[in-house]
Amino acid sequence: MAGKSSEPMMVKGKRLDGRKTNEMRPMKLKVGVVPLAEGSAEFSMGKTKVIAAVYGPKEVHPRHMMIPDKALIRVKYDMLPFSTTDRIRPGPNRRSKEISKVMSSALEAAVYTEKYPATVIDIFVQITNANAGTRTAAINAASAALAHAGIEMRDLVCSVASGKADGTVMLDLFQPEDNFGEADLPVAIMPKSMGITLIQMDGDLTKKEFAESMKLVNEAMPVLYDLQKKALINGEASFEGGKIK
């Protein structure tokens, strides 16, 4: 965590963007944005924006990556050069490779990979605008894209981060809270079984704060789940002012 801000992150019980501690940013989810892909989705939470596309199941290249009895789930997470305040060099880096790896496992848990032996399912994710929470946004988009592609899944995967800023535990951190906060805890969950498929954490949390953070994430799951389901049925869905439309 980058260190303390000179400005407080909480004013009169409200966050800098006016949200309550257990409130997520407004969200939008639209499927089918990449017609050439088997499945695709565009997702935004606040100013964080992401596009995901799914190709496959198809033949595995390179051949040595092929797994005889199940599908290989391969994620490529990529931040576009103009998505951050300072331009970033195009192409993979250590951070994007790590995120791609943990995302693969987070999503694979939900896919019946044994139904597609010796194939690969490629998931490409692009962050078009970054404002904290890009990996959680990427997982929501990728989960919706997988379902949109008609891949057989035991559940959707929903993801949001919680954390601590200014000593307060809060849900879905945005940029200033992420930059100057004390802890960040991205989590992905399969809502039907409430099985956790991704968890990462950096910063400083007491045991009590950790439990509190997890509670906020768990309570957010029904909203994320309904949003994905609604978008898959209607083509698009949004969440604003506590309501899904």
Q: At what angle do helices 94-108 and 134-148 cross, to 10 degrees?
A: 40
Closest to another protein by CB, 10 vs 33, is 33
Which residue, chain included where needed, has tokens 């609604």?
230
Cβ proximity to another protein, 83 vs 213, nearer residue:
83
- In the bound complex, what is the minimum distance in angstroms from residue 53's beta carbon to another protein? 5
Count of positions on this chain that bind another protein (CB under 8 A): 31
Is residue 205 helix, strand or coil? coil
Q: Among residues 12, 68, 86, 233, which is the contact residue for another protein, using CB under 8 A? A: 86
Smaller CB distance to another protein: residue 12 or 89?
A: 89
Q: Is 60 in the site for another protein (CB under 8 A)?
A: no
Residue 173 binds to another protein (criterion: CB under 8 A): no
Q: How far is the CB of 225 from another protein (least distance, A)?
A: 25
Query: Angle, nearest 10°, between helix axes 134-148 and 207-234?
Result: 40
**Cβ partners under 8 Å of residue 79, min gap 6:** 88, 96, 126, 127, 130, 134
Nearer to another protein by Cβ, of 122 and 172: the residue is 122
CB atoms within 10 A of CB 18: 8
Q: Which of residues 20-59 bind another protein (CB under 8 A)?
A: 33-37, 47, 49, 51-53, 55
Decide if residue 138 touches another protein (CB under 8 A).
no
Q: Using CB under 8 A, which of the segments 76-84, 101-109, 197-205, 230-238 binds another protein?
A: 76-84
148 binds another protein (CB under 8 A): no
Q: How far apart are CA 24 and CA 139, in angstroms?
A: 16
Pairing, β 72-79 against β 119-129: parallel
Residue 172 in the binding site for another protein (CB under 8 A):
no
Interatomic CA distance for residues 157 and 138, integer angstroms? 11
13, 18, 85, 241: which one contacts another protein (CB under 8 A)? 85
- With a CB cutoff of 8 Å and minimum separation 6, the contacts of 184 are 1, 161, 163, 173, 178, 201, 202, 203
Residues whose CB is less than 8 angstroms from the CB of residue 176 and which lie 6 or more positions away in sequence, other chains included: 5, 9, 16
125 scored as a contact of another protein (CB under 8 A): yes
Contact residues: another protein, CB under 8 A: 33-37, 47, 49, 51-53, 55, 76, 78, 80-87, 90-91, 122, 124-126, 128-131
